[in-house]
Chain A
Amino acid sequence: MLGKLDLMLIMHYIMLYKLYMKRGLRMLKNRVKELRARYGYTQSELGKQVDVTRQTIAFIEKGEFSPSITLSLKLAKVLQVEVGDLFWLEEE
């Protein structure tokens, strides 16, 4: 059976995991929404141009999802910027 210490350790790991997940989600920032608006694209139109759904564009804009390098490059190309100007780490 699980002891008190085991339970405390489990709780500790869960808290660390949650903290890590939150940090991970907050780390990547982007200008997709701003640049999309500049070029007058809707989320669906931009999604079509880079072969993803409107929902995926929304997840990226909200910072909920960090896109792959391939998708980042495609987005940067369509929005006519360098990848580094489109996505950057929060600490920078």
Chain B
Amino acid sequence: MKQDFRMTYPLWNMAFILILAVMSVGFTSSLVNVTKTDSSLSIETQAVEGFLLFAALIAYLVLITIYLIALQSYNRKNPGKKISPFSMRPPEYMEQDEGMTFITRKAVQKVYTFITWTLPFFALIVMLFPIPRLFIVWGILAVAFGQNLIYYVEMHRHLKEAAE
């Protein structure tokens, strides 16, 4: 089960989110100057922001390449339960039988509870305080990170218990 790509899927999401968080420093910094004309778009940043943006873009490309290779390998080994990277339904759901569906639902319920509380709370904070754009982006990414973390921890806990 540890080798199951669906089990590790939230970890991939979390890695992508972390890279996006670094990338957002470059994109949302007040030092970034975006000039758009009819034919071109130029982005000027200070040295640190520019470096972070560039490094994050490279990291993102590297990670997405590794991800696609891993996904292809999983799909080759599991022709009966292929995962599509373009599926609307989150591929991390494990619903091969009623027991797995049960623990998946339990994990999803925890995520739902988390989202139900954090999003309105976050919206309230943003409305009440003059928060810089970067922190708003980080906040949204933190919610997305937390959602994946909760799901992974919950599923991992259940499957670990089942293995004992």
Contacts and interface: CB of A to CB of B under 8 A. Distances in A.
B163 A58 contact: yes
A55 B103 CA distance: 10
Contacts of B99: 52-53, 55-57, 59-60, 65, 67
A51 interface: yes
A51 B45 CA distance: 58
B99 to A, nearest CB: 3
A25 B124 CA distance: 37
Interface string A25-53: 00000000000000000000000000111
A64 B161 contact: yes
B102 A65 contact: yes
Interface string A49-80: 00111111111101011011001000000000
A56 B163 contact: no
Given A64-B158, A64-B161, A59 B97 contact: no
A60 B159 CA distance: 13
Which of A55, A56, A71 neighbours the largest number of chain B CB atoms within 10 Å of its CB? Answer: A55
A55 B162 contact: yes
Contacts of A68: 98
22 contacts: A52-B97, A52-B98, A53-B96, A53-B97, A53-B99, A53-B100, A54-B162, A55-B1, A55-B99, A55-B103, A55-B162, A56-B97, A56-B98, A56-B100, A57-B99, A58-B161, A59-B102, A59-B162, A62-B162, A64-B161, A65-B102, A68-B98
